[in-house]
Each structure stands twice: as C-alpha cells, then as structure tokens.
Amino acid sequence: MVAFLTVVAIGTGLLSMPMAVEAGETTSWTSALFTATSAVCVTGLAVHDTAEHWSFFGEIVILVLMQIGGFGIMTLSSILAVVVSGRLGLRARLNTQAETKTFGPGDVRRVITGVAKVTLVAEVLTAAALTARFLIGYGEPFGRALYYGIFHSVSAFTNAGFALWPDSIMRFVGDPWICIPLALAVVAGGLGFPVYAVLRQHWRRPARWSLHTKITLGMTAVLLFGGALAITVTEWNNPGTMGGLSPGLRIMAGFFHSAMTRSGGLNSVDTSQMSENSWLISDVLMFVGAGSASTGGGIKVTTFALLGYVILAELRGEPDVSAGRRRIPEQLQRQTLTIALLSVASVAVGTFVMMVVTPFKLDRVLFEVISAFGTVGLSSGVTAQAGTAGHLVLTALMFIGRIGPVTLGAALALHIQTRRFRYPEERPLVG
C-alpha cells in the first residue's frame, strides 16, 4: 500500500508540472491526483481528455504509471499468495500447494520473472497487431503508429482504459483489427498470473488444472459471453449506441463492451447513451470484475463463484461446500463473504456520498462508483462534471478498490487463529 501511495504521489507531482500539459492548459492538484491514481490503479476514469489536455511528456508519465500499476498489482497479488502459503500450517500448506500447483515458499523470484514474461509477451503481441493496423489501415507514420500501438497495448493489458482519442475507441467501432486485439488483451490481463502458471505446465491436461484455474476460466467465459449477449440484446435498437450499426458490428460492439467491463475501461460506443438496463448489467459485470492476481479489479470471479457454491450447498442442505470435487474450507467461505459484503458497503457509502456532493441521479452515480471501485474506467458522463469533492470521492474509491480486496484477502488468510474452547451453540431466527 505504501509503495502504491508513493507512486501516486510521484505521479501527481509529475503531472502537476507545466511541461505535462499542452500549451494554454492548466492542471489543479486534484486533477493531477485523480489522473495519477486512475493510472496507477489502472482504472481509466479521467477528468481531462488525455490526448488534448496532456502533452507528450504527460502521456508518457501516464503510460509509465499504467505499466507500474499493472505489473505491480499482478506481482503483489501473486507474492501475497506465496506469503499466505508459507505462513499456513504444514498440512494446510501442503494442501494449498497441491491444489494450486503454482506457488510455494521461495517462489518470489519465479513469480516476479513469470509476471514480467507474461506482461512482455502479451503487450508486445498486442502492440504489434495495433501498430500494423495503424500503419497499413490508417496510413499513420511508423513512429506515430508504433506509439499508438504501445500506449493502447499497455492500456489494454493492464486494464487501465486510457486512450489517445477524445472518443476513446468509438471511431474504431467497425474495425475488428483494432477492437478484437484490445478486447483479447483486456481478457488476457484479467486472468491473472496463477492461471498462466498452471496453463504453462498443464495446458494439454485440463484434469490437472487447479480449482482456481477452472473457476477463473469458466466464470470468465460465462460472464464474458453472457454479458455480451445481454448488452447486445438490450442495445440492439438503441440509436445512441448500436442502433446504426450492421448486425455483425452490433455483436462485436456487445462483445467489446462486455470485455471492457472485466476492468478494461475502453469503449467503442457511447456509454453515456446506453439504456438503464444496460447500465445495470454493466454494474453487475464491473462489480464482479476479473481474476485474482490479475490487472483487473472487482471482487474477482473466484469470490463471486464461491458465493454461488455456498448458496447452492445451503439450498441443497449439504454439510460441506464443494466445487469440482474439492471441499471449500470454512475459513475461505468466511473470507469470501467478508470481502463481498465489505465491497458492497464501500459501493453503498460511495454512492451515498456522491449523491450528496453531485447533482446526478442514482443510476448514473451508481455506475460511476462501481466503475471506480472496480477500477474499470467506463463512465456514464459523471466524472468530468463531478467537481472537486466528487473527484476526491472517486479517487478514494479507485484506491480502495484496487488495493483493498487484495490486502484484505491476504490479511484474513494470515489472521487465522486457533481457540482452545468454543461457546455454546444457539440459533437466532433467519429470514
């Protein structure tokens, strides 16, 4: 947490410098703080248009902050998994390592190297595809095409959501050679290093995948394609978003938006013109977010899935909660409930405060708050007009949403205590 605060402070200072903005533009300290936090927390919400307000130096600062934030959160989350594994008792540690097939004490160097390799490969491939498209399809000079490719590759894989055009990616809504690589990079960044570590060893043998890998891949597919279907259906005839596109492009736009709710933050249609139904669907997808130890935010797909398994076991009257022929420990069930409920509380409090300090209605405010807490970066049009108080609230939500679930999950796992006595049991009425 201290490291992230330090990087945010340095970024705020750099973005406050006159050389960080275009001639004639000025930046308040709150705007610099907001932008630095948004970049380090790989969110993408912005109070100024990135291309028009920030100079080339300012854009490079944002690019570096995105890279540090994305790499840092993947590394931090993965290392915390190592620490948790090492601090558990011997039996629990062996069970954990047998289940994850990924981490163990002494793996810190391997984790850092692995995260760096995954990041480099994904960003280079995406940047190459984008650069080629800008160069060949749009006639951009090689230097500018390469810069566009690198910037948006980093923005997509880190799930940051910054773009160098005033309309984000809306001008490319009909270009699959731009939209598909960006969407795939966002999904790749949202899987998390533990999944890649397992796939690297056992990609041909799904039976040997860890439960975490199976849940992450399964839930990602369900939410990605289910969200795409729901968004496409609700926006099919909306003239402000997909109504004017061909059927094929509407499907692609729906898939792109669903991928961006994983925590990507780029938009190929005008999010502020979406229907309230689509905002609600997006709220759910953004709140769930991406995979653990990934560049994505939200409560994480594993948390969401485990909540479902807890409910299913209770409805069936089963004594144990199981998933994939594996029993879920009671401590992990309590940790899951704690993270989910505290996240709900953060969103509720943030929404209330934003309703007080801004003039916007509940549906737009809720969308913006969840986007900030889930470090998504999609906007219903609130952020730019939220004022200083609103910007400070969103800044706090971005930081809490980025660091909170990770550190809270690790703290809960490391705080397990044994007690040599138990109180008498009594059942209060429920329901």
CA–CA gap between residue 147 and residue 156 (Å, rounded): 14
Bridge partners of residue 322, in order along the sequence:
327
From the list 345, 394, 336, the residue with the least C-alpha distance to 368 is: 394
Note the pLDDT of residue 415.
58
* Of 77 and 331, the one with more pLDDT: 331
In angstroms, what CA-CA distances link 161 with 45, 364, 418? Answer: 8, 19, 44
Look at residue 163 and give its three-state secondary structure. Answer: coil
How far, rounded to the nearest angstrom, does the alpha carbon of residue 237 sit from its chain's CA centroid?
Answer: 29
Residue count (the chain): 431
Note the pLDDT of residue 90.
40
Note the pLDDT of residue 74.
74
Tokens of 347: 């969103």
For the segment 169-203, what is each residue's pLDDT rounded down to a tens digit? Answer: 999 999 999 999 999 999 999 998 888 888 888 88
* Of 251 and 23, the one with more pLDDT: 251
Q: List Cβ neighbours of 64 (8 Å cut-off, separation of 6 or more).
A: none
For the chain, what percent of residues have pLDDT higher than 90? Answer: 56
Judge contact between 103 and 88, C-beta under 8 A.
no
Note the pLDDT of residue 84.
55
CA–CA gap between residue 279 and residue 267 (Å, rounded): 13
CA–CA gap between residue 287 and residue 306 (Å, rounded): 15
Whether 93 shows a pLDDT value over 90: the answer reads no
For the segment 37-58, what is each residue's pLDDT rounded down to a tens digit? Answer: 999 988 889 998 888 899 999 9
Give φ, ψ of 21 to 5 degrees. Answer: -120, 160
From the list 52, 53, 54, 34, the residue with the least C-alpha distance to 44 is: 34
For the segment 54-70, what is each residue's pLDDT rounded down to a tens digit? Answer: 999 999 999 999 998 88
pLDDT band at 243 (very low <50, low <70, confident <90, very high): very high
For the segment 367-387, what is each residue's pLDDT rounded down to a tens digit? Answer: 999 999 999 999 988 888 888
Average pLDDT, the chain: 86
Note the pLDDT of residue 87.
47
Whether 324 shows a pLDDT value over 90: the answer reads no
